[in-house]
Structure 1
Amino acid sequence: MSGARGGHLRADGVVRRIGDRAVLDGVTLAPRPGETVGLLGPNGSGKSTLLRLLAGVLGPTAGTVTFDGDPLPSVGRRAVARRVAVVQQESQTQTEMSVRDVVGLGRIPHRRAWTPVTPDDRRAVDTALERTGLADRAGQSWHTLSGGERQRVQIARALAQEPSELLLDEPTNHLDIQYQLDLLELAVSLPVTTVIALHDLNLAAMYCDRLVVLRDGRAVAEGTPGQVLTPALIRDVYGVRAEVTGEGERPVVRFLRRGDPDV
């Protein structure tokens, strides 16, 4: 994607242990500026943990996560928060907030505590609302929105941070198909580098430039969707049979029932 801001977030040989178990075991991820990288793998494969390491929320047991070549701890939490935005699967709040208020939370890393909103803050929020098609919803209560609309607001909040990197953890879960497609169209249109954890292989093939597949905490495949999404890999990683069709780098996956013949 042209127009992506500077910045380079990467993980090199990261390990994350919980007790004796390695949740991640020697994973390297180096997104290219402006590309959309999809993280695939079954539940428990380490996708969310890798995103948390990239965001600086967790520290690796071994290996390093760097931003522009500097280890995240030396960059500082506030500086990282300005440059790296995170969108979780679902966000909840009991506080009554408007859409504009929620989007405005993205400006917190840019202000000192208790300082007033600046013209730059207002501009960033207005731009994020316009970019995500929410300008006409700015005064609406967060609690009146549908699940897909709330996820769109969370992307607007992330965009208001003016980040160079966007991390999304299965943002399409529990959304209707229309909202899934709308949200991913929006995500890949943004002038940022995006790493997104997904369950749906066809959505990953449609929207990601490159895929990294995790299994049991290890990266077992990396490449374009056309290179990665093969019947053999789907069988080995997910334990199911599938037919993969389509020309070029945007394949289509059709899962086979147990009684269906191999193709």
Structure 2
Amino acid sequence: MTAGLHAERVSWSAGGALILDGVALAPRPGTVTGLLGPNGSGKSTLLRVLAGVLAPDTGVVTLDGVPLADVPRRTVARRVAVVEQQADTQVELTVADVVRLGRIPHRRAWTPASTADEAAVRSALERSGLADKAHRLWHTLSGGERQRAQIARALAQEPRELLLDEPTNHLDIQHQLELLDLITGLGLTSVVALHDLNLAAAYCAQVVVVRRGRVVAAGTPDEVLTEELIADVYGVRARVSVPEPGERPHIRFLGTLARDSREP
């Protein structure tokens, strides 16, 4: 049986437009896979298909070899956690309240939190560095703290797979690095959509590049993030440093390419 969360030749359309076209994705257990591509390439849609929020038109997403559609929703919710780009609420919730939402898949309706639930919440707060902010109101948090709270909520689910949609958006450099340090230190099978290629190169064990809904490259950052691929997919001239053994590549952007010089 194939372990983990896999997509096999997945396609999905909306309004007659093909958004995903035969996508395959097989994250390595316990590592971070970066999902890269220009705006509109299908990254967010692919994450929603992997989470079971959208059903593929063709192909299949499997969890431990079982089609996701055949896995009970509560089981999926316990195994797979999702962190959206942005989250907000008009309700005055504390950070601990937000994190407790991650325990919903483990509880029956209308039952009070158990000792195990509260232990999971405390652990998630500690792992995300928010234990000292448990009683702070959500709306008083900074952007970086809100993202950490969202990850803490996901951790409270006690998942094995974690899907994150551009979690570094709108964060300053320090908070971007702190957030990715947190994600890579979790030891979960994570798929994270990113725009910053240097962050992907620095933090991801493997990367998958999508363009117009199709996978155009997949592998380790030093294999995939070449000057040729960056020019072809992003329309940008770049210089990619050749890493020494054990090091990650670094990308220096030099400017955009003329549109007519790119592959149509």
Q: Give the distance between the partners of 1:191 and 1:242, measured in 2 at CA.
A: 32
**Taking structure 1 as the reference length, what is the TM-score of the superposition?**
0.94
Q: Distance in 2 between matches of 1:196 and 1:258?
A: 26
CA distance in 2, matches of 1:21, 1:109: 34
Give the AA of the match of 1:190: L
User: In the alignment, which residue of structure 2 is the partner of 1:95?
Assistant: 91
Change (3 A) 1:104 1:240: same
Asked if structure 1 preserves the Cα contact closer than 8 Å seen for 2:210 and 2:217, the reply is yes
CA RMSD across the alignment: 1.3
Q: Which residue of 2 aligns with 1:216?
A: 212
Runs in 1 of length 4+ with deviation above 2 angstroms? none
User: Percent identity over the alignment?
Assistant: 66
Task: Provide the residue aligned with 2:248 in structure 1.
Answer: 250
Structure 1: 5+ residue stretches without partners: 1-5
Aligned partner letter, 2:233: V
Give the gaps of 5 or more residues in structure 2. 258-264
Q: Residue 77 in 1 paired to residue 80 in 2?
A: no
Structure 2 equivalent of residue 176 of structure 1: 172
Closer/same/farther in 2, CA of residues 133 and 238 from structure 1, 3 Å limit: same
How far residue 191 of structure 1 moved from its aligned partner, in angstroms, is 2.4
| Residue 137 of structure 1, aligned match among 133, 143, 148 | 133
CA distance 1:36–1:154, shift in 2 (3 Å): same
* 2:261 aligned partner: none
| One-letter amino acid of the structure 2 residue matched with residue 155 of structure 1 | I
5 Å matches for 1:61-210?
Answer: 61-210=57-206
Q: Distance in 2 between matches of 1:111 and 1:86?
A: 18
Q: AA paired with 2:235?
A: G
How far apart, in 2, do the equivalents of 1:132 and 1:37 lie? 20
Any idea what the Cα deviations from partners look like across 1:157-211, whole Å, max 9, x if unmatched? Answer: 0000000000000000010000000000000100210000000000000000000
Tell me the equivalent position of 2:10. 14
Contact 1:241 1:256 in 2 (8 A): yes
Distance 1:245 1:119 in 2: 51
Give the TM-score of the pair, scaled to structure 2.
0.94
* Distance (Å, rounded) in 1 between the aligned partners of 2:72 and 2:89: 27
Structure 1 window deviating more from structure 2 (140-149 vs 247-256): it is 247-256
Structure 1 residues 20 and 95: alpha-carbon distance in aligned structure 2, compared to 1, 3 A threshold: same
